[in-house]
Amino acid sequence: MGLKGTIEKIENSKTPLIFFLVISFSSILIRDFLEFYLDRQNPLVIVIDAIPHTTFFYVSVCLSFLILFHFATREKIEKLAKLILPAFAITITVPVIDYLFTQGEGYHVSYMLPGIHEGLLMRFLTFFGPLDRFGISPGMRIEISLVILASFAYFAIKQQGIVRSLFFSFLVYVMLFAFFILPYILNFFLNFLDLHFEYSSRLMRDSLFVLTFFQALWVYYLVNRDSFKKNFGSLISLDSLYPWLAALSGIILSRTAFGKPLNIMTESRILDLFFLPVCLISEWTACKALTRTLNKEEGTNMYRMTALGLILISLFYAAAINLAIFFFVAAFLSVCFIYHIFKVDFVRPGLLNKFFLIFSFPFFLATGYFFGNKTLDMPVNAVILLFIFITNIMFSWGS
């Protein structure tokens, strides 16, 4: 069986996709273990802190490959995933090659950093430039070379033609280079906001959380356009902004109560301003999907999976902010679930539904208030006025 036959056999395999996911995730963990163990410069505390960062780095790279290969070959995402996911086993070779290359010392791999790895254009043209004390290691360069060659072979096998195959192989290199200069991209973004860039594992992790969110949506759209459009068309509406606007009221209230600038426009918290609306809107939309599931409407299975996915997204991004926000989100989801056990329709406005909307307001207000200044010492008079205001709006809506 030739290379083409092997590729087709893998793509058309009846093996569940979860099997390929396990291979990929296991490879990433083994790579991390070997890399940190063989690099004598890494203390254990840095290793533990970096695991979410490195894991999502590879998740984002994988999603990028899926998107790029789909547009290059028009092959189905499911087939591409069965080929790309196990290919991450090649990452295990990097720390081993680096260990042998440095004669047992190990190599401290890293992004290309502002102020250290200068001359990006020359580095791009010379395949990451000269070897530095740390950065793109010899093992990584060999790995990337093999990935580009394998990509070219795959594109050629898919009858893309030599020129087109070379073009998309070049895009693979451009894509990987862009990942390794993420600190430069973040530095530009923060400087634009008049903020100072300082490299940290959390900042890189949070930026990858943002990137992965949009990539995952894109892949979902490519996998099933009809499901994507139906979900967003029936579940996302103007009222989806309600939890975010209520939380925003809490943020503004915290500013008024303390009489000092909010401590959220900082380098370490700037991306939290993305996480908060994502987790609040996700949990609100999950409640709407849960209603359709319990009411056994058409497409129940789709709404059930949507509700589960949105609940996981809301909890994940809440935890990315801090555990207190995670608690607020989890508490609201618990109330939402108990409310829907009674099969009350959350989608259509009714008296009981309005009461739920009103009493969900304190959850979102408290979430925003705590997000603003990490305390719940709210002025009672302001809370009462806001509560009366939102009550009037809810009872006026649909009347």
Taking alpha carbons only, the member of 213, 184, 202, 212 closest to residue 50 is 202
| More confident of the two residues 342 and 213 | 213
> Cα(181)–Cα(123) distance, rounded to whole angstroms?
11
Span 144-167, mean pLDDT?
92
> Cα(210)–Cα(195) distance, rounded to whole angstroms?
18
Contacts for 180-185: CB closer than 8 Å, 24+ residues apart: 180/111, 180/112, 180/128, 180/136, 181/111, 181/112, 181/120, 182/111, 182/207, 182/208, 183/111, 183/112, 183/113, 183/114, 184/112, 184/114, 184/120
Beta bridge partners, 134, equal 108
Q: At what angle do helices 242-258 and 351-373 cross, to 10 degrees?
A: 40
Give per-residue pLDDT as tens, 15-47. 899 999 999 999 998 998 888 777 665 554 455
pLDDT, position 339: 72
Question: Measuring CA to CA, how many Å separate 94 from each of 52, 59, 205, 348?
Answer: 19, 17, 21, 56
- 198: helix, coil or strand? coil
Give the CA angle between residues 291, 294, 295 to the nearest 5°.
80
Strands of 175-291, DSSP E: none
62 is written with which tokens? 């994988």
Confidence tier at 111 by pLDDT (50, 70, 90): very high
Domain with residues 227-396, CATH architecture: Orthogonal Bundle (1.10)
For residue 382, is pLDDT > 60?
no
Span 314-328, mean pLDDT?
90
pLDDT, position 1: 61
Q: Is 29 exposed, middle or buried (0-12, 13-18, 19+ CB in 10 A)?
A: middle
Give per-residue pLDDT as tens, 245-291. 888 888 887 776 555 556 666 666 788 889 999 999 998 888 878 77
Span 6-19, mean pLDDT?
90
Taking alpha carbons only, the member of 320, 120, 314, 115 closest to residue 203 is 320
| More confident of the two residues 392 and 81 | 81
For residue 85, is pLDDT > 50?
yes
Least confident of 1-10, 56-65, 212-221, 310-319: 1-10
pLDDT, position 263: 62
Span 357-368, mean pLDDT?
78
For residue 396, is pLDDT > 50?
no
| 94, 39 contact by CB (below 8 A) | no
Domain boundaries, the chain: 3-223, 227-396
Give per-residue pLDDT as tens, 367-381. 888 887 766 555 554
329 is written with which tokens? 């989100």
For residue 345, is pLDDT > 90?
no
Number of H helices, E strands in the chain: 17, 2
Span 182-188, mean pLDDT?
93
Taking alpha carbons only, the member of 352, 249, 374, 367 closest to residue 314 is 367
Confidence tier at 363 by pLDDT (50, 70, 90): confident
Q: What is the mean pLDDT of the chain?
A: 82
Q: Which of 5-9, 130-134, 247-251 has the highest mean pLDDT?
A: 5-9
| 183, 112 contact by CB (below 8 A) | yes
pLDDT, position 225: 87
Answer yes or no: pTM beyond 0.85: yes
